């Protein structure tokens, strides 16, 4: 009676080996998801955060095919499934451009504060656009179409957005988490509780106790309260939590002898769109 080589290998070990071989074959044959990064009105600091993931980039590139990323590559392609969009929409032609991106992409992710909430760019919305145009570009700006400007707005004021990565700039860890979730077919779970929670976990003394103001009680956490930890206040760059407890925040302000109207002005830095969008 003869024996084959396979007869001496435990069946469980053989099965595991065959499964691993099959998985490698499937991964080799599987087309990597195509990812694109786009810039509108912004400083592109959030995209630089992506590029600063030096240790993780090789692994990232083994899982996705980046087809559009002005900060990193010269080539441009329009066949992408996932689009990361940085920047607010503040020029007329940008409206059409972002709509085209939405038509092509299966998933759109707002990358950073400018894209997610309108960001700092919405500060100009407090003034007439003709005045903004004149101050920035000069008295003859109206003559040139390429110097046009409209009230700045977040991306989701123009197109549907699937997911958000908040912050100014974003954090590398949150970007990697969102990308991993998308590749696994999972919904990214972004924090929806106030920065005060992060502050307590970091052991920070409440800035109100120091005679300062702060929008942390109604701002979305997830930043590890880095600004407060390093001696500043929360400026609200991650936007408001869903259903913020405004009444509790007002009680806090009254307890420390602060006027609500005065503190509300601090929301204009990153929350200008939500505060004044009905006027635009």
Residue-wise pLDDT tens digits, 53-73: 999 999 999 999 999 999 999
Res 211 pLDDT > 70: yes
Q: Quote the pLDDT of residue 43.
A: 96
Largest alpha-carbon pair distance within the chain?
Answer: 99
Residue 243, pLDDT score: 86
pLDDT, tens digit, for every residue of 256-265?
887 666 666 7
Q: How many CB atoms lie within 10 A of CB 19?
A: 10
* pLDDT score recorded for residue 280: 65
Q: What is the distance between the alpha carbons of residues 21 and 17, in angstroms, rounded to a whole number?
A: 6
Contact between 220 and 238 under an 8 Å Cβ cutoff? The reply is yes
Cα 198 to Cα 19: distance, rounded to the nearest angstrom: 43
- pLDDT of the residue at 231: 94
What pLDDT band is residue 92 in, cutting at 50, 70 and 90? very high
Q: Does position 236 have pLDDT exceeding 60, yes or no? A: yes
Asked whether residue 17 carries a pLDDT value surpassing 80, the answer given is no
Mean pLDDT lowest for which of 13-17, 114-118, 212-216?
13-17
Q: How far is CA 69 from CA 35, 65, 134, 236, in A?
A: 9, 11, 32, 28
pLDDT given at position 8: 56
CA angle centred on 163, ends 88 and 107, rounded to 5°:
95
User: pLDDT of 152-167, one tens digit each?
Assistant: 999 999 999 999 999 9
pLDDT digits (tens, 9 = 90+) for 25-54: 545 556 899 999 999 999 999 999 999 999
**Model pLDDT, residue 107:** 98
Q: How far apart are alpha carbons 82 and 188 in whole angstroms?
A: 14
So what's the pLDDT on residue 119?
95
Beta strands (DSSP E) in the chain are: 34-39, 65-68, 82-86, 107-111, 163-165
Non-local (6+) Cβ contacts of 79 within 8 A are: 34, 67, 104
Residues 66, 73 contacting (CB under 8 angstroms): yes
CA distance 124 to 180: 36
> Are the C-beta atoms of residues 42 and 119 closer than 8 Å to each other?
yes
Is the pLDDT at 269 greater than 70, yes or no? yes
Check residues 216 and 30 and name the one with the higher pLDDT.
216
Cα distance between residue 270 and residue 266, in whole Å: 8
Q: Element (H or E) spanning 24, and its range? A: helix 11-29
Residue 30: the pLDDT is: 66
Of the chain, the percentage scoring pLDDT greater than 90 comes to: 69
Listed residue (93, 98, 91, 95) closest to 36, CA to CA: 98
Question: pLDDT of 132-155, one tens digit each?
Answer: 999 999 999 888 888 899 999 999
What pLDDT does 31 receive? 86
User: How many angstroms separate the Cα of 169 from the Cα of each of 83, 94, 221?
Assistant: 18, 22, 14
Position 203 confidence tier, pLDDT thresholds 50, 70, 90:
very high
The domain limits of the chain are 34-183, 195-279
Angle, vertex CA 128, rays to CA 122 and CA 129, nearest 5: 70
Architecture of domain 34-183: 3-Layer(aba) Sandwich (3.40)
CB atoms within 10 A of CB 31: 7
């Amino acid at each position: 009676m003869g024996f084959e080589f396979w007869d001496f290998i435990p069946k469980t070990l053989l099965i595991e080996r065959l499964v691993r071989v099959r998985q490698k074959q499937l991964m080799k044959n599987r087309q990597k998801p195509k990812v694109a990064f786009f810039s509108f009105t912004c400083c592109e600091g959030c995209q630089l955060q992506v590029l600063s993931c030096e240790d993780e980039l090789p692994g990232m590139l083994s899982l996705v095919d980046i087809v559009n990323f002005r900060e990193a590559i010269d080539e441009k392609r329009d066949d992408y499934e996932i689009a990361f969009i940085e920047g607010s929409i503040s020029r007329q032609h940008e409206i059409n451009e972002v709509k085209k991106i939405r038509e092509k992409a299966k998933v759109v992710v707002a990358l950073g504060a400018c894209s997610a909430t309108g960001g700092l760019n919405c500060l100009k919305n407090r003034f007439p656009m003709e005045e903004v145009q004149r101050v920035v570009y000069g008295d003859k700006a109206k003559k040139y179409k390429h110097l046009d400007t409209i009230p700045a707005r977040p991306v989701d004021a123009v197109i549907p957005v699937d997911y958000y990565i908040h912050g100014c700039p974003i954090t590398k860890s949150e970007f990697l988490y969102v990308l991993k979730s998308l590749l696994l077919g999972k919904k990214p779970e972004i924090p929806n509780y106030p920065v005060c929670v992060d502050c307590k976990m970091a052991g920070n003394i409440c800035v109100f106790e120091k005679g300062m103001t702060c929008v942390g009680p109604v701002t979305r956490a997830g930043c590890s309260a880095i600004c407060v930890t390093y001696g500043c206040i929360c400026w609200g760059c991650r936007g408001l939590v869903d259903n913020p407890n405004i009444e509790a925040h007002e009680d806090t302000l009254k307890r420390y002898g602060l006027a609500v109207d005065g503190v509300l002005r601090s929301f204009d830095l990153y929350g200008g769109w939500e505060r004044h969008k009905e006027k635009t």
